[in-house]
Amino acid sequence: MRMSVKQLRAFLAVAHTLNFAHASERLNLSQPALSLTIKGLEEALGGALLQRSTRKVTLTQEGELFLPMARQLLADWDNVEEAMRQSFTLQRGKISVAAMPSFAANVLPEALKAFRDRYAGVNVTVHDVINEQVIEMVREGRVEMGIAFEPSPNHNLLFTPLAVDRFVAIVPQQSPLAKKKQLSWQELLTLDFITLQRPSAVRLMLEEALARSGRQLDVALESHQLVTVGRMVASGLGAARCRRCVKRRWHRWAPSASRSAIRRLRSASARSMPDICRCRRRRRRCWIR
């Protein structure tokens, strides 16, 4: 008799918990069924992998030796299964992507155009959500891929850097600051400050950057939508700071953007933004590159 994937999963569950009751709950199996599954695996391999007593469960010497091999076997199986499923899905199916709103609006469309040219039969759903929700959706398997800043810790996800971004300043066109090519953070704060509401990742980065220099962000106006922030600036209500990736399309999606000016920030905090990354679950092949 040869060992099965079901037996491997059962062994790894028991090896992880060292408790048959807890392992059976994780596998949604009864304890007698779990015991029979482990017994079948041991018979297939020719010896005991677990030492059982009324008080505890431990791995035998052979069980310790088998544990890393079992993990690798199951990982390989999952990879093959996922790769074939994705291959068939890409002939005609659905893919879900989660991305931060500014990235979804300004960068992702070009990447999706290239993807659709190659996989015309695939329907793509884009979830434009805040950074924390992107990571949560990827971790829970609700989307195949996410575009986000890498957190610390990374929640057992794989992050691949895609781009390096910087902060830029946005000021009203009628402001004297609009005549300058570069602005300092101190100059920007001479105007009323407009920003995204929490829990925006960019908002948190701004606050952290100021906190490191012993200052606090004094917010005059805030909104959940970047386009609203942009229109507030264009109306002369104050200044804002946003990511450079927005600059390319600013005048397209903000009709009043011609009444605002985008300027470089020369302060060190302009470079304080982490890389924008593609994130996915471990052992999951990502087909959008």
Do 183 and 257 have their domain in common? yes
Residues 265, 175: one domain?
yes
CATH number of the CATH domain containing 55: 1.10.10.10
Predicted confidence at residue 64, as pLDDT, reads 92
Query: Would you say 231 and 172 are in contact if contact means Cβ atoms under 8 Å apart?
Result: no
- Asked whether residue 289 is assigned to any structural domain, the reply reads no
Beta sheet of 122-128, edge-to-edge order = 122-128, 93-99, 145-149, 276-281, 157-163
Q: How many domains does the chain have?
A: 3
* Same-domain status, 176 and 262: yes
Instruction: Please report the pLDDT score of residue 269 as a whole number.
Output: 47
Which structural domain range is residue 36 located in? Answer: 5-87
The predicted structure's pLDDT at residue 61 = 93
> What pLDDT is attached to residue 36?
94
Which among 26, 58, 87 is the end of a domain? 87
Confidence (pLDDT) at 33:
94
Assess contact for 37 and 76: CB atoms under 8 A.
Answer: no
pLDDT of residue 286: 45
Give the CA-trace dihedral at 198, 274, 281, 125, to 10 degrees.
60
Query: How many other C-beta atoms are found inside a 10 Å radius of the C-beta of residue 188?
Result: 21
Q: Are 12 and 39 in the same domain?
A: yes
Q: Within this chain, do residues 56 and 139 fall inside the same structural domain, yes or no?
A: no
Assess if residue 31 is contained within a domain. yes
Task: Judge whether 288 lies within some domain.
Answer: no
**pLDDT the model gives residue 249:** 55
Q: Is residue 132 part of a domain?
A: yes
On whether residue 287 sits in a domain, the answer given is no
Task: Give the global pTM.
Answer: 0.49
Domain assignment present for 184: yes
CA dist., res. 178 & res. 182, Å (int): 9
236 and 189 part of one domain: yes
Q: What is the pLDDT along the chain (289 residues), one digit of tens a residue?
A: 788 999 999 999 999 889 998 899 888 899 999 999 999 999 999 999 999 887 789 999 999 999 999 988 888 887 777 777 766 666 667 788 999 877 787 778 888 888 888 888 788 899 988 888 898 899 888 898 898 887 666 567 888 877 666 777 888 888 888 888 787 778 888 888 888 877 777 777 777 777 777 777 788 888 877 778 878 888 888 888 877 666 555 555 455 545 556 666 555 444 455 667 888 887 544 444 4
Asked whether residue 59 falls in the same domain as residue 133, the answer is no
| pLDDT in the model for residue 260 | 58
Last residue of a domain, one of 30, 63, 87: 87
Contacts of 166 (CB under 8 A, 6+ apart): 243, 244, 265, 270, 271, 273
| Residue 286 counted as domain residue | no
Return all residues near 236 (Cβ < 8 A) that are at least 6 apart: 172, 174, 175, 259
- Residue 40, pLDDT score: 93
Same domain, 71 and 102: no
Looking at the fold, whether 226 and 257 belong to one and the same domain comes out as yes
138 and 61 share a domain? no
Domain stop point among 20, 53, 87? 87
Residues 76 and 22 in one domain: yes
Whether 180 maps to a domain, the answer reads yes
Q: What is the layout of strands, in order, in the sheet containing 260-265? A: 182-183, 260-265, 167-172, 239-243, 193-196, 221-223
Of the candidates 144, 135, 147, 134, the one whose C-alpha atom is nearest the C-alpha of residue 106 is 147
Alpha-helix runs per DSSP H in 179-225: 185-188, 201-212
> What is the per-residue pLDDT for 30?
93
> Can you give the pLDDT at residue 289?
42
Is residue 78 domain-shared with residue 97, that is, in the same domain? no
Q: Which CATH number do you get for residue 261?
A: 3.40.190.10
